[in-house]
């Protein structure tokens, strides 16, 4: 009798676990994509943008303003790259 009760409990746990996995697939993919995007290198950023802006601004005799604008543009580009990486990894995970 106890063995049958244990077997029924195991089967019910397996069924409940299967539905729980189906419900949390998007959460698992979101966590995977967040971690993968965080470790993916980008080709630009605030520092690199500031340097580029300063170089371009030095031609117009205003390197400081160029650096400030370059930093803003570089930060925006980095955010866009991270978002695209996140979307790529999330879509790949959901397709599995």
What pLDDT was estimated at residue 20?
47
What pLDDT was estimated at residue 45?
82
Q: How far apart are the first and last CA of the chain?
A: 41
- Domain annotation covers residue 9: no
Count of the separate structural domains present in the chain: 1
Using alpha carbons, select from 43, 24, 38 the residue that is nearest to residue 89.
Answer: 38
- pLDDT per residue, tens digit, the chain (96 aa), is 677 666 666 766 666 554 445 468 899 999 999 999 999 888 878 888 888 888 888 887 788 888 888 888 888 988 999 999 999 999 999 998
Residue range(s) defining the domain that contains residue 81: 26-95
- Domain annotation covers residue 7: no
Using alpha carbons, select from 19, 23, 30, 20 the residue that is nearest to residue 91.
Answer: 30
What pLDDT was estimated at residue 35?
93
- To the question of pTM greater than 0.75 for the whole model, the response is no
Going 25 to 30 to 31 to 33, the CA torsion angle's sign is positive
């Amino acid at each position: 009798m106890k063995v049958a009760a244990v077997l029924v409990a195991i089967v019910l746990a397996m069924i409940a676990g299967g539905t729980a996995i189906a419900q949390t697939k998007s959460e698992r993919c979101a966590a995977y994509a967040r971690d993968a995007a965080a470790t993916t290198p980008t080709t630009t950023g605030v520092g690199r943008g500031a340097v580029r802006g300063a170089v371009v601004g030095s031609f117009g005799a205003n390197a400081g303003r160029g650096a400030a604008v370059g930093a803003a543009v570089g930060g925006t580009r980095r955010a866009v790259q991270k978002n695209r990486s996140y979307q790529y990894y999330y879509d790949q995970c959901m397709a599995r």
